[in-house]
């Protein structure tokens, strides 16, 4: 049995299709009697409007598409929370898709989202080439989270990765560390500014940067640490993100080094993983929910035509000191 349509409701309520449409959209210019009749008929039939038909006819959409690069990273779940709240309060709904960390899959995901003709699209930590979304931005508002762009039709929401890395370095230096290595995020989004921030801060302190290539995964953190062990391990490590840091800690412990006794470790993101008491990772906090909320807001403003200039949010990160950083062994006796 097919789903009831607006026509069925109209017939049952003894009114026209258009009137039903008006009632469903809460128009004030419907008499109370008819309104009640329509609502009752809809209720009895278990009618629910066909969103696709509606948006086709009205040439509008109340859907925001969200492409999440990696559903496994808790960071994004927390950004989505903010996005969801922001969208919901503006009367929009979220449709989520996942890109599986591969440019090709991300491209498919984006195409998939666009085929719904959403009001706007948010790309969370995309790794796909810029050309893929600049094209889309001609027709649909696009906001990037954790990825920068100079294209004027694209909005961006980022934390200040350079400042964040610098904070981490400053914290470690203030504890007495001088040999501080950085595991970077490879091709991942935002890995470049974090690396730059690290290098700049190290130089500012007159220290020698030591960068080892990584990825935003636990395995990469462990592998990077193994590479750092020779000739001599650093006294502190700034990891690419929290997940990466946890991998680094594991590898350090396997090598017989204690954290933070022998080596201090700082993560990045401040996801729930870092906050787990058993992990208790010193990390750089990104305001995740706020980033999601701002992304939603940026799209909504573009949709409503309230802004045509690009939004460029650069949020201040924050150092969260937990249990994985301490003064280096040589210093602790002083």
Residues that bind DNA (CB under 7 A): 2-3, 5-7, 15-19, 21-22, 24-25, 28-31, 33-34, 47, 49-50, 53-54, 56-60
Cα dihedral value 264, 267, 271, 277, nearest 10: -10
17 makes contact, choosing from DNA, a second copy, none, with CB < 5 to 8 Å by partner type, with DNA
- Indicate whether 249 belongs to the interface with a second copy (CB under 8 A): yes
Facing residues of 65 across strands?
95, 121
- Selected from 27, 58, 111, 187, the binder of a second copy by CB under 8 A is 111
Q: Is 257 in the site for a second copy (CB under 8 A)?
A: no
Does position 132 interact with a second copy (CB under 8 A)? The reply is: no
- The one of a second copy, DNA, none whose footprint includes residue 5, by CB under 5 to 8 A per kind, is DNA
Q: Contacting a second copy (CB under 8 A), which of 247, 260, 267, 292?
A: 247
> Is residue 296 at the binding interface for a second copy, with CB under 8 A as the rule?
no
Report the nearest approach of DNA to the CB of residue 305 (Å): 16
* Residue choice 134, 153, 200, 250 for contact with a second copy (CB under 8 A): 250
The distance of closest approach from Cβ of residue 6 to DNA in the complex, given in angstroms and rounded to an integer, is 3
- Rounded to an integer, what distance in angstroms lies between the CA atom of residue 107 and that of residue 131? 10
Q: Which does residue 179 bind out of DNA, a second copy, none, counting CB within 5 to 8 angstroms by kind?
A: none
Strand, helix or coil for residue 299: helix
* Residue 179 in the binding site for a second copy (CB under 8 A): no
What is the DSSP-derived secondary structure letter of residue 128? S
Q: Is 1 in the site for a second copy (CB under 8 A)?
A: yes
Q: Is residue 82 within 8 Å of residue 288, measured between CB atoms?
A: yes
Q: Which does 15 bind (CB under 5 to 8 A by kind): DNA, a second copy, none?
A: DNA
Q: How far is the CB of 155 from DNA (least distance, A)?
A: 25
Beta carbon of residue 96, minimum distance to a second copy (angstroms, whole number)? 4
Q: Is 58 in the site for a second copy (CB under 8 A)?
A: no
Calculate the alpha carbon distances from 16 to 6, 28, 35, 76, 306 in Å: 9, 17, 12, 46, 36
Q: Which residues pair with 294 in a beta bridge?
A: none
Sign of CA pseudo-dihedral 274, 275, 280, 283 = positive
Shortest reach from residue 139's CB to a second copy, in Å: 5
- x-marked contacts with a second copy along 190-229 as a string, rule CB under 8 A: ----------------------------x---x-------
Distance between CA atoms of residues 102 and 82, nearest Å: 24
Q: Which is nearer to a second copy, 193 or 247 (CB)?
A: 247
Of 20 and 294, the one with the shorter C-beta distance to DNA is: 20
* Tokens matching residue 54: 């509606």
Distances from the Cα of 148 to the Cα of 17, 145, 206, 275, 323, angstroms? 47, 8, 29, 27, 32
Angle ∠(246,247,250) on CA atoms, nearest 5: 90
CB of 120 to DNA, least distance (A): 18
Nearest to 319 by CA among 124, 187, 166: 166
Size of the site for a second copy (CB under 8 A): 51
Determine if 44 is a binding residue for a second copy (CB under 8 A).
no
DSSP string, 302-318: HHTTS--SPPEEEE--E
CA 1 and chain centroid, separation: 41
């Amino acid at each position: 049995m097919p789903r009831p349509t607006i026509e069925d409701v109209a017939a049952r309520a003894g009114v026209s299709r258009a009137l039903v449409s008006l009632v469903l959209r809460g128009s004030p210019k419907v008499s109370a009697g008819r309104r009640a009749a329509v609502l009752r008929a809809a209720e009895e039939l278990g009618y629910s409007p066909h969103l696709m038909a509606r948006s086709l006819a009205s040439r509008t959409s109340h859907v925001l598409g969200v492409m999440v690069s990696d559903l496994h990273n808790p960071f994004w779940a927390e950004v989505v929370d903010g996005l969801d709240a922001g969208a919901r309060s503006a009367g929009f709904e979220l449709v989520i898709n996942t890109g599986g960390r591969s440019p090709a899959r991300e491209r498919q995901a984006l195409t998939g989202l666009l085929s719904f003709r959403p009001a706007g699209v948010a790309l969370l930590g995309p790794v796909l080439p810029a050309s893929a979304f600049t094209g889309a931005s001609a027709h649909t508002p696009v906001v990037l989270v954790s990825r920068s762009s100079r294209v004027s039709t694209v909005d961006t929401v980022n934390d200040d990765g350079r400042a964040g890395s610098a904070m981490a370095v400053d914290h470690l230096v203030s504890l007495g560390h001088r040999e501080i290595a950085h595991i970077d995020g490879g091709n991942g989004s935002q890995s470049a500014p974090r690396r730059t921030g690290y290098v700049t801060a190290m130089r500012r302190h007159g220290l020698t940067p030591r960068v080892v290539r990584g990825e935003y995964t636990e395995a990469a953190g462990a592998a990077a640490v193994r590479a750092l062990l020779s000739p001599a391990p650093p006294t502190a490590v700034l990891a690419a993100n929290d997940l990466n840091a946890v991998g680094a800690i594991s590898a350090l412990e396997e090598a017989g080094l204690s954290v933070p006794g022998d080596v201090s470790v700082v993560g990045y993101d401040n996801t729930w993983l870092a906050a787990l008491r058993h992990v208790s990772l010193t990390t750089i906090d990104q305001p995740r929910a706020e980033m999601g909320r701002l992304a939603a807001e940026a799209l909504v403003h573009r949709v409503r035509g309230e802004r045509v200039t690009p939004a460029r949010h650069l949020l201040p990160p924050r150092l969260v000191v937990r249990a994985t950083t301490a003064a280096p062994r040589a210093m602790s006796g002083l």
